[in-house]
Amino acid sequence: MRPMPRTTCTPPPGGCGAARVARSLLTLLVLALLAPFTLAQGSLLVYAVISQDDAELLTGMFADETGVEVRFLRGATGELVTRVIAERGAPQADVLLGGPSSLHISVAESGALLPYLSPAAAGLPASARDRDGLWTGFYLTALGIGVNETRFAQRYGDRPLPSTWEDLLDPAFAGEIVLTDPVASSTAYLFVQAQLQRLGWDAGWDYLERLAPLVGQFPSSGGAPPQLVGTGEYTLGVAFVHALARYRAQGFPVTLVVPPATAGEVGAVSIIAGGPNPENARRFVDFVLSQAAQQAFVNQSLTTPLHADVVLPEAAVPLTAIDLIEYDPSLAGEQREEVLLRWQSVVD
């Protein structure tokens, strides 16, 4: 057997020890230079439209499962849409998480999304995913009316609770309704589109023009109406059914009303084109579509899952209890700019 070659050192002026020190310093310098690159390859930045705690849940589960360093920025829909489109030349984030599919359609039309056909989306209905993979649905939402039982009884006695969208037009409710600003919130934009699509363009705008003066506050976040109704600052609030159900489950005096002919939409996830970590973004989309992630998300958010094997929690409203119109998210996305400009003229 040939002997293993021995490593030798040709002594420099300072001896072999100096050479080893020099090599060590060079290695440390190289590692220091590569450290930011290595971190970037093992990281992920998510722009989250879903609530803070839901974003923490999903990103935390993904980090635990993969070892990827995940950060997220929670923001209102309009804020994050503007940010993604504005950053097209130099994207900072990798994933846009949550919000209705019409939001993702609008962003896709600007060229800011990267197509990805996740194998985990194979079992989804065609209505729950973009055929080119620009966005993929992972939950369903629907609109309802939250009523603070205590405040309603104090102001209106034993009169019946509102049960339809038209009931909100009662002048007696002036100043007692909270609705988010559709310019900033995907929740309120869905509400505006629901009226336009169920009633038709002209009748829908007539409804919205009559409702707007009765609204006491237009906050920017879709999570504000459930909170403001739950704490009794307003009597009535338009919000997603699942958000209202969460407050009721937490013990707030909130009655949940699901009006007939309401609107629901697929909540989606998409990958930002040119983001710094596209491979981790794909892994994250696959994870969000998994049964484990959707079960944990549904247990906490009380949304309606899209994964066939996820069990609906008792506090959640089943899809069978919701009367949905045939909502067209593509039309909502195409009309977004026109509708929001007209809305601003209504409330000004």
Q: What pLDDT sits at residue 301?
A: 93
pLDDT reported for residue 78? 83
Give the pLDDT score at 271: 98
Structure-model confidence comparison of residues 208 and 348, the more confident one: 208
Band of pLDDT at residue 108, cut at 50, 70 and 90? very high
DSSP conformation class of 15:
-
What is the reported pLDDT for 348?
A: 82
Helix residue ranges per DSSP H, the chain = 16-41, 52-66, 77-86, 101-109, 149-156, 186-199, 201-211, 224-230, 241-249, 278-288, 291-301, 329-347
Give the CA count within 13 Å in the CB-facing half-sphere of 294.
23
pTM (global) more than 0.85: no
CA 11/CA 270 separation, integer angstroms: 58
pLDDT of residue 274 exceeding 60, the answer is: yes
Averaged confidence pLDDT in the chain: 88
Residue 222 has what pLDDT?
A: 82
Determine the average pLDDT of the residues in 112-140. Answer: 94
What is the pLDDT, as a whole number, of residue 106?
Answer: 87
pLDDT at res. 186 = 83
Q: Quick one: pLDDT at residue 27?
A: 35
- Residues 253, 230: Cα–Cα separation, whole Å: 6
Hey, what domains does the chain have and what are their CATH numbers?
41-140+264-316 (3.40.190.10), 142-262+337-347 (3.40.190.10)
For residue 17, what pLDDT band results from cuts at 50, 70 and 90? very low
Strand partners for 100: 267
Place of tokens 């929001």: 340
C-alpha 63/C-alpha 66 separation (Å) is 5
Q: Which residue has the higher pLDDT, 100 or 260?
A: 260
pLDDT at 30: 36
Please name every residue paired with 265 in a beta bridge, in sequence order, or none if there are none: 141
HEC sequence for 281-306: HHHHHHHHCCHHHHHHHHHHHCCEEC
Q: Where does the pLDDT of residue 228 fall: very low under 50, low under 70, confident under 90, or very high at 90 and above?
A: very high
pLDDT band of 91, cuts 50, 70, 90: very high
pLDDT at 41: 44
Q: How does pLDDT run across 130-176, given as a tens digit for each residue?
A: 999 999 999 988 999 999 999 999 999 999 999 999 999 999 999 99
Provide the pLDDT for residue 170. Answer: 98
pLDDT of residue 223: 85
